[in-house]
Structure 1
Amino acid sequence: MLCQGNPLTQSGQFGRRGFLMAGAAGGLGLSLPDLLMRQAAAEMKQYDFIKARAKSVIHIFLPGGLAQQESFDPKPYSPLEYRGELGTTKTNTGEVFCNSIPKLAQHADKYCVIRSMTHGEAAHERGTHNMFTGYKPSPALQYPCFGSVVSHEYGPRNNMPAYICIPNVPNEFAGTGYLPSSYGGFALGADPARDNFQVRDLNLAGGVDAERFARRKEALERINQRFVSSTTADNVGAMNTFYERAYDLLDTPSAKEAFDLSKEDDKMRDRYGRNQAGARMLMARRLVEAGSRLVTLTYGGWDMHTNITSGIKNSMPALDQGLSVLLEDLTERGMLDETLVMVTSEFGRTPKINNDAGRDHWPKVFSVMLAGGGIKGGMIHGASDATATEPEIDPVSPADLASTMYHLLGIVSDKELMAPGGRPIEIVDGGKLIKDIIS
Structure 2
Amino acid sequence: MRCHGNPFSRRGFLAAGTLGTIGLSLPELLMRQATAEMKQYDFVEAKAKSVIHIFLPGGMAQQESFDPKPYSPLEYRGELKTIKTNTGEVFCESVPQLAKRADKFSIIRSMTHGEAAHERGTHNMFTGYKPSPALQYPSFGSVVSHELGPRNNLPPYICIPNVPTEYAGTGYLPSSYGAFALGSDPSQGNFKVRDLSLASGVDEERFARRKSALEVVNNQFTSAVQADNIEAMNTFYQRAYDMLNTPAAREAFDIEKEDAKLRDRYGRNTAGQRMLMARRLVEAGSRLVTMTYGSWDSHVNMTSSIRSQVPAFDVALSALLDDLSERGMLEETLVMVTTEFGRTPKLNKDAGRDHWPKVFSVLLAGGGIKGGTIYGASDSTAAEPEENPVSPEDLATTMYRLLGIVADKELMAPGGRPIEIVDGGKLIEPLMV
Instruction: Report the TM-score when normalising by structure 2.
Output: 0.92
1:434, CA displacement in angstroms? Answer: 0.7
Counterpart of 2:4 in structure 1 is 14
2:189 to 188, 191, 195: 195
Counterpart of 2:292 in structure 1 is 298
Residue by residue over 1:93-115, the C-alpha shift from the partner in whole angstroms, topping out at 9 and shown as x without a partner, is 00000000000001100111000
Residue by residue over 1:59-106, the C-alpha shift from the partner in whole angstroms, topping out at 9 and shown as x without a partner, is 000000000000000000000000000000000000000000000001
- Mapping 1:241-320, distance limit 5 Å: 241-320=235-314
Counterpart of 1:21 in structure 2 is none
Provide closer, same or farther for how the CA distance between residues 412 and 15 of structure 1 changes in structure 2, counting only shifts above 3 A: farther
1:46 to 38, 42, 47: 42
* 1:14 partner amino acid: H
Residue by residue over 1:192-218, the C-alpha shift from the partner in whole angstroms, topping out at 9 and shown as x without a partner, is 000010001100001000000000000
Counterpart of 1:385 in structure 2 is 379
* 2:114 partner amino acid: G
Are 1:428 and 2:422 counterparts? yes
What SS does structure 2 have at the residue aligned with 1:274? coil
Structure 2: state its 5+ residue gaps: 7-31
Counterpart of 1:325 in structure 2 is 319
Provide closer, same or farther for how the CA distance between residues 121 and 45 of structure 1 changes in structure 2, counting only shifts above 3 A: closer
Residue by residue over 1:191-250, the C-alpha shift from the partner in whole angstroms, topping out at 9 and shown as x without a partner, is 000001000110000100000000000000110011112122111110111101100010
- Mapping 1:2-401, distance limit 5 Å: 9=1, 13-14=3-4, 43=39, 46-47=42-43, 50-401=44-395
1:156, CA displacement in angstroms? Answer: 0.5
What SS does structure 2 have at the residue aligned with 1:223? helix
2 CA distance for matches of 1:401 and 1:343?
11
1:43, CA displacement in angstroms? Answer: 4.1
What SS does structure 2 have at the residue aligned with 1:173? helix
2 CA distance for matches of 1:85 and 1:119?
27
2 CA distance for matches of 1:43 and 1:336?
31
* 1:382 partner amino acid: G
1:159, CA displacement in angstroms? Answer: 0.1
* 1:141 partner amino acid: L
* 1:156 partner amino acid: P
What SS does structure 2 have at the residue aligned with 1:46? coil
* 1:419 partner amino acid: A
1:44, CA displacement in angstroms? Answer: 7.8
1:408 to 402, 407, 423: 402
1 CA distance for matches of 2:5 and 2:354?
42
CA RMSD across the alignment: 1.6
Counterpart of 1:28 in structure 2 is none
What SS does structure 1 have at the residue aligned with 2:422? coil
1 CA distance for matches of 2:346 and 2:220?
63
What SS does structure 2 have at the residue aligned with 1:402? helix
Residue by residue over 1:30-50, the C-alpha shift from the partner in whole angstroms, topping out at 9 and shown as x without a partner, is xxxxxx99x969948822xx2
Identity over aligned residues, as a percent? 75
What SS does structure 2 have at the residue aligned with 1:296? strand
Count of matched residue positions in the alignment of Structure 1 and Structure 2 = 407
Residue by residue over 1:127-168, the C-alpha shift from the partner in whole angstroms, topping out at 9 and shown as x without a partner, is 000000000000000000000000000111000000000000
1 CA distance for matches of 2:5 and 2:97?
47
Counterpart of 2:22 in structure 1 is none
Instruction: Report the TM-score when normalising by structure 1.
Output: 0.91
1:14, CA displacement in angstroms? Answer: 2.5
Residues 15, 416 of structure 1: 8 Å contact kept: no
What SS does structure 1 have at the residue aligned with 2:168? coil
Provide closer, same or farther for how the CA distance between residues 84 and 15 of structure 1 changes in structure 2, counting only shifts above 3 A: farther
Structure 1: state its 5+ residue gaps: 1-8, 17-35
Residue by residue over 1:157-190, the C-alpha shift from the partner in whole angstroms, topping out at 9 and shown as x without a partner, is 0000000000000011000000000100000000
2 CA distance for matches of 1:108 and 1:364?
25
